[in-house]
Structure 1
């Protein structure tokens, strides 16, 4: 379907298969006509700011079919448990009404083109902010586990390791090579 121009390649859409405009047209052709949802009439004053969007008072839903990589929940939970849901970069532990919250971040991403493994030595326990910064290449981790802010080039701390969870340096090297 990718070769036929019906799907956006996963390497261009962060691992999530998405229909192209042609793919959407083909899907609708097979589904038959779909009536657009009724648009509610909303009377309100225009914002003083002409750039502020109107938005949608009654958002609709559409059905979407995607493919994704099946990650091992056990690996993610193991790494988060070893670190007590505490960010390995900043030491923050987020408490929520349902318990502590942290995210499992793959150092060498899964799927094409990276093909990283879903194993504990390729996973970090991070807070949401550091997860995003790491995935976008704004943070690098040296083989000595020094965390570098790529924007300023300055060290911001050291990655915490715990017994039972050591990071393989080859995954850190891969991450640095990808984000130059």
Structure 2
């Protein structure tokens, strides 16, 4: 059964934030235990995650062929941006593509999905609408959207529930 957050897709202006471990940036999340605080610099000796542009990073955080997370990352969820999902490097990630002339996603980051749950709908060049379902259980941890024009290209990354760590984000 899909469990979506109530804010899922209510506003096009509320998008998650992505922080990648070891990335140089002008904004960081400094991780300590189950909490992360925002910082302008990375203190020496602590785990720091640099802010990246959400939705277009893919090769820097996941090996699609091996289905593995290559760098630890945190996705900070809207609308309050006080809750994050931490996925550690080496974790299994199942990539599920949604590609077509138009893609309508029915899930968002933080949603729990089961086998046969709806992820979205795809309109093809022949004007057919296809229903895309998950073939695995887990939590949606990241949604990639290709920045190239043409058909919509999205990849929904689903992680097993046991590898996703929920963290509190402090200002």
Which structure ranks higher in relative contact order (CA pairs < 8 Å, sequence separation ≥ 6)? 2
Indicate whether the TM-score tops 0.5: no
Which of the pair has more CA radius of gyration?
1
Higher strand fraction: Structure 1 or Structure 2?
2
TM-score interval (norm. to shorter): under 0.3
Q: TM-score with structure 2 length normalisation?
A: 0.26
Q: TM-score with structure 1 length normalisation?
A: 0.25
